[in-house]
Amino acid sequence: MDAEGFHEMTPCPRCGSRDTVTFHYREGFEELECESCGFRSDAEEIASLTRFTGVVLEKDHRSDQHRVPVPIRTLKA
């Protein structure tokens, strides 16, 4: 998904600047980035992809009573 970016002077929806770059994708869609305020039309989609922080939580031994039981079944070959 390579895109070509062009300075088409499309007004930024956030700040109104015409210092923007419009990216046209072969798949038929386009995205807008503003070089003045940093607006990106795909920011919401990117945020949904990165919503999980990936933080590893340490086990709290005091909360063992609320543990979800792990089902254990024997495997048959």
- Residue showing tokens 């039309």: 41
Count of domains for the chain: 1
Q: How far apart are the first and last CA of the chain?
A: 44
- Alpha-carbon gap, residue 48 to 25, rounded angstroms: 21
* 23 inside domain: yes
* 77 inside domain: no
Beta strand segments in 1-77, E: 3-6, 20-25, 30-34
Query: Does this model's pTM top 0.85?
Result: no
Print the domain residue range for 39. 3-51
Q: What is the mean pLDDT of residues 37-57?
A: 81
Surface-to-core class of residue 52, CB atoms within 10 Å of its CB (0-12 exposed, 13-18 middle, 19+ buried): exposed
Q: What is the mean pLDDT of residues 9-27?
A: 95
In this predicted structure, what is the pLDDT of residue 60? Answer: 65
CA 36 to chain centre: 22
* 59 inside domain: no
Q: What is the mean pLDDT of residues 30-47?
A: 93
* 58 inside domain: no
Residues 54-66 pLDDT 10s: 666 666 666 555 6
